[in-house]
Structure 1
Amino acid sequence: MVSYLHALQDTLRVGLLPASLPLARLLSLPHLPDHFGTVASSALFFWAVQLVSPYVAPLVSRSYATLPKRTQHEWHVRVVSVAHVLVMLPMIRESLGKDALNRDRAFGWDEAVGSLGSVANGYVYFLWDTFESILGKGDIGFIIHGIASLATFTPLYRPFIAYYAPRALLFELSTPFLNIHWFLDKTGRTGGILQRVNGVLLLGTFFAVRLCYGAYISYQLFQTLFDVRGQVSSIGLISVGLGNITLNLLNWFWFVKMVAALKKRFAGKRKKSE
């Protein structure tokens, strides 16, 4: 299976090379063509997961059939989100230890982070997530998140700030707990012990990786941007900086909303039990 996927990526890379070269030249992304096959195969994979999900969901949950159509659609979107995290985490681990990135945080490059970017960053998942949020009339916060992620991760193939890509993507460690919380809600297990435990893990992980670790990585990122301010265009610095600030503000906004929602939910359950 792995060899088949690699062969598919190579076939797509060769076939799509003529289309990727003008785009790479237009956006000044010289490393993009070498990874365009991974971009395409990853896009096909996420699309396939979403297509298969409606057939699998009724088999794993009886309550799925009773959900409104819009909620069923969100179910499949969250399944893709889970698949994204599962695919991405091993690639993040591999990219974190690359010496070329550690030596040069601004302009360092390694093929592993190129593959990670192709699977997990703007050209596949965040772009897909943005369109899904718009077409599905989702939360405006998720639309902003997708656009800000595109602005932050697009320079990866220049290469620029590739060092920070796997570190920023560690934010997604909280995503499985968020999706589990949602699935428990939709399968009639709201307020149970499992959701309580998951809620603690969700808030703890979100606070640790998105707020605390996120602030630390953002500080390092802005130090790097300041150090290379004479070597990068103002537009490049501003887009990356604003994208990062936006993502951090969204994380704080979502954290406050989650705390308020969990307090309200479990307080209401205690009143009913009394």
Structure 2
Amino acid sequence: MLCPGPPFVAPSRACDTPPFHSCQGSARVAASQLPSTSQTTTESSPGGQRFSCSPTLVNHAVTTGACLSLLPLPLSSPLFLLCTVHFWPLLTMRDPIPAPAPIVELTKPLAEKLSLSTLPNHAHEILIGFLWYHFILYYLSPTLSRAICPNIYNSFNKRTRLNWDIHWVSMIQALLINSAALYVIFTDAQRKEMDWKGRLWGYTPASGMVQGFAAGYFLWDLQISSQYIALSGVSALLHAVGALAVTCIGFRPFGNYYGLSFVLYELSTPFLNIHWFCDKLNLTGSKFQLFNGIGLLISFFACRLVWGTYQSILIYSDIYTALTTASSSPMRSLLDDSKCEGNVSGVGIRGPASCEVGELPMWLVTIYLIGNTSLSLLNFYWFSQMIKAVRKRFVPQQEAKANGYAKKSQ
């Protein structure tokens, strides 16, 4: 049985790299996620941790090793290029930013206390995101704004200038997180194979990376919304609290699969920021703002209301399945001991967690449902406000023109 070793190292007998999270391979999957016809092998690592390997993914891993063994050939070799292109998604479905050992050790106590077993693997990305967004707010945006549009930026009062910089943070974050989420969604083979158990408790390093940067942004958003609540408003603060709570729950891991789906809410954010920038750049009521406003309404409706509601229904359905599946306890999923030993979420900072991994406590369900439902209701509220804003800017002008034409005709 072969599994991929550390990144860009040909696989060896493995599934024996302890813990498997550290090698960040994607060939280890939850036993509960494997088809019933699959023959899986459960092995123990030197550290005593046990997990199962999927034959399909193992075959990919072996072929990946073969690709890597071709490295002595010229990079232009047709065989090497064909092999690399075909298996590139597998090679890249790892977290490309290794977790520094000091940060892992530093966050283990907190992660164990909060039962967030994958948090140490991505705490560095939360920190990077948090500091990066502060860098944009306090240095990058002011510097570029003074260089590109000095007259307009310098004419702003302190409140508007801060709001301008915050919108640039939001803009850059949306572009980055959407790109990362879409890439993982379309290329992570293991994610596509997940059943309802995998969608609730599954974890892949690449999705954890996206989740980490999203958590870093929501942590930044929580601080800014609290610090400048008079500017952001209570709704923005509630959004930051709910988004951070739902995102952090994913580090149990729980709902990590859906976390990437909900990240796509941000596809409407660039349109929203452009709409705001138009007002500050004296483009209010322009055709550009009108077309952008149409794009904003369409993207917001499609991504947050339609797609978001659809994904909420799916996760509510999976939670209902987990709670009602016949078992000794209504709070547990149908995971027997052997499957729990191989569950991807069972190997974390505390090692294998038996069927405790499959538990679905009511407090977790309550927090997740309240957070997710609150965000959905906020989206519907904001959409109604957007419609009012667009009508306020463009409908009166059209009515005024119509009235003027009527007076002339009289």
Distance in 1, Cα, partners of 2:127 & 2:246: 21
Q: C-alpha offsets along residues 132-175 of structure 1, whole Å, 9 cap, x if unaligned?
A: 11211212111111111122111211111111011011111000
Q: CA deviation at 1:261?
A: 1.2
Q: CA deviation at 1:249?
A: 0.3
Q: CA deviation at 1:16?
A: 1.9
Asked whether the 8 Å contact 2:175–2:270 carries over to 1, the reply is no
Structure 1 residue 268 corresponds to structure 2 residue 396: yes
Match of residue 308 from structure 2: 214
Q: Identify if the C-alpha distance between structure 1 residues 75 and 27 changes in structure 2 by more than 3 Å, giving closer, same or farther.
A: same
Distance in 1, Cα, partners of 2:208 & 2:311: 20
What secondary structure, in the 3-state scheme, does the structure 1 residue paired with 2:100 have?
helix
Match of residue 3 from structure 1: none
Asked whether the 8 Å contact 1:105–1:164 carries over to 2, the reply is yes
Cα RMSD over matched residues?
1.7
Structure 1 residue 57 corresponds to structure 2 residue 117: no
Distance in 2, Cα, partners of 1:59 & 1:244: 40
Structure 1 residue 174 corresponds to structure 2 residue 265: no
What secondary structure, in the 3-state scheme, does the structure 1 residue paired with 2:254 have?
coil
Structure 1 residue 40 corresponds to structure 2 residue 115: no
Q: CA deviation at 1:44?
A: 2.0
Q: CA deviation at 1:80?
A: 0.7
Match of residue 16 from structure 1: 103
- Pick aligned residue for 2:176 from 84, 87, 91: 87
Distance in 2, Cα, partners of 1:152 & 1:43: 17
Q: CA deviation at 1:99?
A: 3.8
Q: Identify if the C-alpha distance between structure 1 residues 113 and 24 changes in structure 2 by more than 3 Å, giving closer, same or farther.
A: same
Map 1:160-171 → 2, pairs under 5 A:
160-171=254-265
**TM score, norm. by length of structure 1:** 0.91
What residue identity is the alignment partner of 1:245?
T
Distance in 1, Cα, partners of 2:127 & 2:219: 13
What secondary structure, in the 3-state scheme, does the structure 2 residue paired with 1:211 have?
helix
**Which has the greater radius of gyration?**
2
Distance in 2, Cα, partners of 1:272 & 1:136: 38
Match of residue 92 from structure 2: none
Asked whether the 8 Å contact 2:111–2:117 carries over to 1, the reply is yes
- Pick aligned residue for 2:222 from 97, 108, 130: 130
Q: C-alpha offsets along residues 87-120 of structure 1, whole Å, 9 cap, x if unaligned?
A: 1122102321434334111111100011001111
Distance in 2, Cα, partners of 1:110 & 1:140: 34
- 80-89 or 232-241, which deviates more: 80-89
- 125-134 or 163-172, which deviates more: 125-134
- 145-154 or 99-108, which deviates more: 99-108
Q: CA deviation at 1:14?
A: 2.2
What secondary structure, in the 3-state scheme, does the structure 1 residue paired with 2:250 have?
helix
**TM score, norm. by length of structure 2:** 0.62
Q: C-alpha offsets along residues 164-211 of structure 1, whole Å, 9 cap, x if unaligned?
A: 011011111000000000001011110000000000000011011111
Asked whether the 8 Å contact 1:64–1:187 carries over to 2, the reply is no
Match of residue 284 from structure 2: 190
Structure 1 gaps, min length 5? 1-7
What residue identity is the alignment partner of 1:264?
K
Match of residue 227 from structure 1: 321
What residue identity is the alignment partner of 1:107?
W
- 204-213 or 262-271, which deviates more: 262-271
What secondary structure, in the 3-state scheme, does the structure 2 residue paired with 1:190 have?
coil
- 172-181 or 135-144, which deviates more: 135-144
Structure 1 residue 254 corresponds to structure 2 residue 342: no
Match of residue 84 from structure 2: none
Q: State how many pairs are aligned.
A: 264
Identity %: 31
What secondary structure, in the 3-state scheme, does the structure 1 residue paired with 2:107 have?
helix
Structure 1 residue 114 corresponds to structure 2 residue 208: yes
Q: CA deviation at 1:271?
A: 5.3
